[in-house]
Structure formats: C-alpha cells, structure tokens
Structure 1
Amino acid sequence: MIMSEVLFKYRVHPGDFFRNAEIAKLPDPNNDLEGFLIWFLDDYQSDERIAYINDLWKLLEDQQVTPVQVNEKTFYSNGEIQAEITELESQLKDEAYRNFYDLLRENKIQIIDRDEE
C-alpha cells in the first residue's frame, strides 16, 4: 500500500529559525530522522546531543584510528561509535514522537487535508 504524503502546520509560529507556521510535509522519521527532529524535538538547534551525534558521524566518515575520546567517552572501534549513534538517535526519536503527540493533543499543530490546502 502506497501512503500519500501527510501535510501539517503549526497553528502558531514555534519561535525559532528552523520551523515556521507554513504547511509542510510531515517527515518520515525512518527516512528523514533529521527533518523529524528539527520539526518536533524541543530546542533542536541548541541540543548538545545533536552536536555530539554530528561529531560521532564525522569520526565514522573520517575513518579515525581508534581509540578515540569524545565527550569524556572512549571508543575503541567504529562499531562502538555506531552503537552510540544508534542509541542516541533512538532516544531523540522517542522524545520527538512524544513531543509530536503532545502538540497534536494540545491542538498546537494541525494535520492538513489535501482539499484544505
């Protein structure tokens, strides 16, 4: 079954530079985690966990020789770095899901019917 894209908008501007009150496509967190986190993670732009994950991804991309220390944690293999990224992304995704649900429940965002565009 092919799903059509889901549109949404904030009823009031969320007050930061990344998000707005325009109609937007709801990002699929399985295919666009960063987009989902930008829209629904509180304080995405100042969340230290995002910077930490970005640092870890850079280590993997640069093929750094291990052991390497990041934020007082020592990694001895790329597998350990990947496991840390996976764990953090899972935590952030769960938090963003909760925030998304709360926004819906509190009527702060609106799911847009294609006919309403």
Structure 2
Amino acid sequence: MNIQPSASFDAIESQLDRTKTPKLPGGETENETKEAFTKFVGETMFGSMLSSMRKTVGKPAYFHGGRTEEVFQKQLDQLIVEDLTESSASTIADPMFDLFQMNRRP
C-alpha cells in the first residue's frame, strides 16, 4: 500500500478499511482460517495419496538403502506433500472453504 503524504484523511481511511479482513468469532481473520483449511486439506489428501502410492511399490532389488532410506523417504515425502499443498491445494480447498463459510454465515 502506497499512501501519499498529501492525501486527505478520508482517502487514507478508505485505503486502510480495504486492507482489513473481517474477524471470525474465534478471533482469527478469514485469511488465516482459509490458510489453515487449505493446509489441512492439502496435507491430508496429498499425504494419504503419497502414502498409498508408496505401499504399492516394492523395494528394488538393487540400490536400496535399507532402514536409513526408509527414514529419510518419510522426511522427503513430508517435503513433497508441503510443496504440493502450497502449489495446488487451493484448487480443491477453496470451493470446500466457500461451502464451509456458507454454513457459518447467517
């Protein structure tokens, strides 16, 4: 937001009002709730999907790292899920969040 020094008080106030987001009953903003919703939906869905995919693939005959690979594979999977959530979970979570919000509004 770029506020000009010569701008009137009413113009500055209207700019600030546009930047505010409404508070929900729990005290958090709608954006915070939406981010938490997106993170939960994305990590749950992508985490379950990646876990199921890993179960269908057996261990390779060669170049398997044993227990160490299994431990680090889980950490890598967690990073993959976080990246997938950040990049594409909103396409699924946004419509779900809108439906969730419709039920909460009077």
TM-score, scaled relative to structure 1:
0.36
TM-score, scaled relative to structure 2:
0.39
Higher strand share: 1
Higher helix share: 2
